[in-house]
Structure 1
Amino acid sequence: MNKTVLITGSSSGIGKAAARYFAEKGWNVAATMRTPSKETELAGLPNVRLFRLDVMDADSIRQAITDARTAFGGIDVIVNNAGYGAVGVFEAATPEQIQRQFDTNVFGVMNVIREILPYFREKRDGTIINVTSMGGLITFPIYSVYHGTKWAVEGFSEALSFELRPFNIRVKNIEPGAIKTDFYERSMDLFRKDGLTDYDEYIRVTYANSQKAGADAPGPEVVAKKIFQAANDRSFRLRYPAGGQSPMLLALRRMVPLSWFHGIVRSVVEKGFRPAV
């Protein structure tokens, strides 16, 4: 019997790439998104079914899980991929932007896990995969709120893994570096505040350097392959760096003093910035 994966945020980027990759490998795929009626590519794949799921709507999560179990006979793996990225200096962020970022990236993950746990616990098996970021363990300028969400998921996942291990439920974090997806275009929200101009030059330089990293990065397929690897790994390994930058930078962060690492980050992300004196 084919295994089944349920993936949130399957309408674009990493989620869509993962849905395609799992389907190519013979898995049943419950590809979830807020508006399935708009998706045409995945709907045409024979072992993929589309389901409506909004990570902030508990009823939609429960219904998607129920419908996926009915369609495929069960669920083996949940991939929490849905995310929202807002960047910029913290002082310019509105309470609504901060709330939305934590709602989607943290509470949304928790909402999905809460709904799948009774099922996984009853069958004494299951894998929960959270797409976090290397930004859940290291930080970069103008990403303070985003990093806050990813560090929260990293800590939550690590602690949760202790609780769920007695039930043979595995928790795994995928930690991509920069990946060329619409995160750097359609999905990204830039903090702005009328009248706040002191940061303008700093934002201009760091944002441009960050955008360049995204433009030069590999595509989401490399992350999809790492998610697939984690889904098939029956060990209790927690962390899976993905993409060319992530393994190297995470290893470097462990090896050198924090002050050195911050110097390296500034030399890249702040390149070209000259503070006013």
Structure 2
Amino acid sequence: MKKTIFITGASSGIGKATSLFFVQQGWNVIATMRSPENEKELSGSPDILLLKADVNDTSSVLDAMTTGIARFGQIDVLLNNAGYGQQGIFEAVTPEKIRQQFEVNVFGLMETTRAILPHFRKRKTGTIINITSGAGRVTVPLVSIYAASKFAVEGFSEALSYELESQHIKVKIIEPGYISTPFYDRAKADYAFDPQLEDYSKFQLEMNDLFSSFGAMDTASPQDVAETIFEAATDDTHQLRYVIGPDLQPMINLRNSSSDQDYIDAMRGQFMPEAFGK
């Protein structure tokens, strides 16, 4: 029987690239999104089932899983991909925006995971793959809320992996660096700004100049991430974390090979050179 993957946030970026890649590898794909009626690129394959699901509406997720299982017989992999990145100075991010970031990136992911577990436990097999971010391991300025949500998912996933091993269910974490997708268009649109916080003006300008150069760096593509997700889904190992991106790996290597304070000092030297007399 062909294997089946259930994907949240499949309308663009990593979710769409993964849907297309898994179909090319002979899988069935349950591609979920909030507005499937608007999706054109994924609608042409009989092996892709487009369904409506919002991770903040658990009933819609359960309905999609039930429909997908009825169509394909089972779900073998859950890809928790839906999410977005809140950016901006912490003081400029409203409490409402903070809660929304966690509702989508953390609580929505948790409830989607909870929804699939009875099916996986019944079958005594299954793989949960959570998309986090380089910001879930190494942080930078202006993403404090986004990084907090991804650190939460990292901790949740690691602890959950121990629990679910007892049920023969694997948990995997995908950690992309900078990926050119519509993800960043939404991040720009949702950027938190408060003109009254003038004390940060110079710092924000410096950081915006720095981050604008990221697009010219050697980075991974959505296709690269999709291929790594396929590896995680099929390599039959107990590997937990998969890092994608030549921009991210050196930062993680620095964090892993240095003392905590040496790492922090190196990062401050990059993002706050004036404070270190550089």
- Specify if TM > 0.5: yes
**Partner of residue 267, structure 2:** 265
Q: How many angstroms apart in 1 are the aligned matches of 2:184 and 2:135?
A: 15
SS at match of 2:186: coil
**From 235, 238, 248, the counterpart of 1:236:** 238
- CA distance 1:25–1:269, shift in 2 (3 Å): farther
Residues 208 and 11 (structure 1 numbering): CA distance in 2 closer, same or farther, change over 3 Å?
farther
Letter of the 2:9 counterpart: G
Residue 265 of structure 1, CA deviation: 2.9
C-alpha distance in structure 2 between counterparts of 1:243 and 1:6, whole Å: 24
Q: Secondary structure at the match of 1:79?
A: strand
Query: In the TM superposition, what is the alpha-carbon distance from 1:270 to its structure 2 partner?
Result: 5.2
CA distance in 2 between counterparts of 1:210 and 1:143 reads 12
Q: Which amino acid aligns with 1:160?
A: L
SS of corresponding position for 1:145: helix
Aligned to 2:23: 23
Q: Give the C-alpha shift of residue 264 in structure 1.
A: 3.5
3-state SS, counterpart of residue 42 of structure 1: coil
- Cα deviation for residue 178 of structure 1 reads 1.0
Per the TM alignment, residue 269 of structure 1 is displaced from its structure 2 partner at its CA by 4.4
Residue of structure 2 in register with 1:129 after alignment: 129
Q: For 2:209 and 2:233, how far apart are their aligned partners in 1?
A: 35
Distance in structure 2 (CA, Å) of the matches to 1:267 and 1:179: 25
**Superposed, which structure 2 residues align to 1:87-98 within 5 Å?**
87-98=87-98
Query: TM-score w.r.t. structure 1 length?
Result: 0.94
Q: Which SS does the other structure have where 1:231 is aligned?
A: helix
Q: Provide the rounded CA distance (Å) in 1 between the counterparts of 2:9 and 2:114.
A: 17
The answer for unaligned runs of 5 or more in structure 2 is none
Determine helix, strand or coil for the equivalent of 2:140: coil
Q: Secondary structure in 2 aligned to 1:51?
A: strand
Gaps in structure 1 of 5+ consecutive residues:
none
Alignment length, in residue pairs? 274
Q: Is the 1:206–1:270 Cα contact (8 Å) retained in structure 2?
A: no
Matches of 1:215 and 1:101, distance apart in 2: 28
Q: What do residues 50-81 of structure 1 show as CA deviations (whole Å, max 9, x unaligned)?
A: 01110000110100100111111110000000
Q: How does 1:165-184 map to 2 (within 5 A)?
A: 165-184=165-184
Decide whether the 8 Å contact of 1:184 with 1:211 is kept in 2. no
Match of 2:207 in 1: 206
Aligned mates of 1:117, 1:219 — CA distance in 2: 31
What TM-score do the two structures reach when normalised by structure 2? 0.93
User: How many Å apart are 1:88 and its aligned residue?
Assistant: 1.1
- Cα distance in 2 between the residues matched to 1:134 and 1:124: 31
